[in-house]
């Protein structure tokens, strides 16, 4: 298994630093976040070191997707929150701090203080169809 010497999550995989593990298999491991936003906040990561969605193997993502559904349902069953948020930050500009792909699973409640910060003027004006078509084409052709 290819891990990265200095990566904190690779150290968890190698057993060099402790973690509270929910489950693991050959490809991935789920463990509790050390600074939980809420009780039950955990992370799902591949055992092989990938930085984020930009470099991960598609087969590994497929496996993570199946295990993510399972983990999300388990968190929901265990804590009975009002909802469960799945988040992946890809790159520092998106808020990624640990450069080893990880998917957050965060129990949420209507009255919790966890918020996405939307830009000012957000939703004042709906996008023009032409603008949306242009963006969709740009992504499709990238
Ligand atoms: P990011 O901001 O990169 O999406 O999130 C990184 C997450 O990893 C944070 O929620 C942070 O609390 C968690 N984290 C950082 N270092 C450790 C650690 O050593 N152990 C565990 N379990 N979680 C960590
Ligand atoms: Zn790593």
| Best of 85, 98, 105 for a ligand 1 pocket test (most atoms within 8 Å of beta carbon) | 98
Rounded to whole angstroms, the Cα distance separating 22 from 24 reads 7
Q: Average pLDDT of 84-89? A: 98
* Atom in ligand 1 nearest the alpha carbon of residue 32: 22
pLDDT of 111: 93
Q: What is the pTM of this model?
A: 0.95
Element (H, E) at 139: helix 129-141
Q: What is the mean pLDDT of the chain?
A: 96
| Per-domain residue ranges of the chain | 8-117
Q: Average pLDDT of 90-108? A: 97
Concatenated DSSP letters of 79-113: H--SEEEEE---SGGGT--SSS--EEEEEE-TT--
7 within ligand 1 shell (Cβ under 6 A): no
Phi, psi of 50 (to 5 degrees): -125, 145
Q: Average pLDDT of 86-94? A: 97
**Ligand 1 center from residue 42 Cα (angstroms):** 9
Model confidence at 120: pLDDT above 80? yes
Model confidence at 141: pLDDT above 80? yes
* Atom in ligand 1 nearest the alpha carbon of residue 98: 3
Nearest CA to ligand 1 atom 17: 34
52 within ligand 1 shell (Cβ under 6 A): no
Tell me if 31 sits within 8 A of 103, measured CB to CB.
no
Q: Which residues surround ligand 2, an ion (CB under 5 A)?
A: 4, 7, 9-10, 49, 100
Model confidence at 1: pLDDT above 80? no
When pLDDT is cut at 50, 70 and 90, the band that residue 126 belongs to is very high
User: Would you state the CATH architecture of domain 8-117?
Assistant: 2-Layer Sandwich (3.30)
């Amino acid at each position: 298994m290819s891990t990265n010497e200095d990566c904190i999550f690779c150290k968890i995989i190698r057993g060099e630093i402790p973690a509270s593990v929910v489950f693991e298999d050959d490809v991935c491991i789920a463990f509790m976040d050390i600074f939980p936003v809420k009780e039950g906040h955990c992370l799902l990561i591949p055992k092989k070191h990938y930085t984020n969605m930009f470099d991960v193997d598609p087969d590994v993502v497929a496996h993570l997707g199946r295990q993510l559904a399972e983990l999300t349902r388990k968190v929901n069953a265990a804590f009975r929150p009002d909802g469960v948020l799945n988040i992946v930050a890809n790159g520092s500009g998106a808020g990624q701090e640990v450069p080893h792909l990880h998917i957050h699973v965060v129990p949420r409640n209507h009255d919790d203080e966890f918020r996405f910060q939307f830009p000012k003027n957000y939703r004042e004006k709906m996008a023009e169809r032409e603008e949306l078509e242009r963006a969709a084409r740009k992504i499709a052709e990238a």
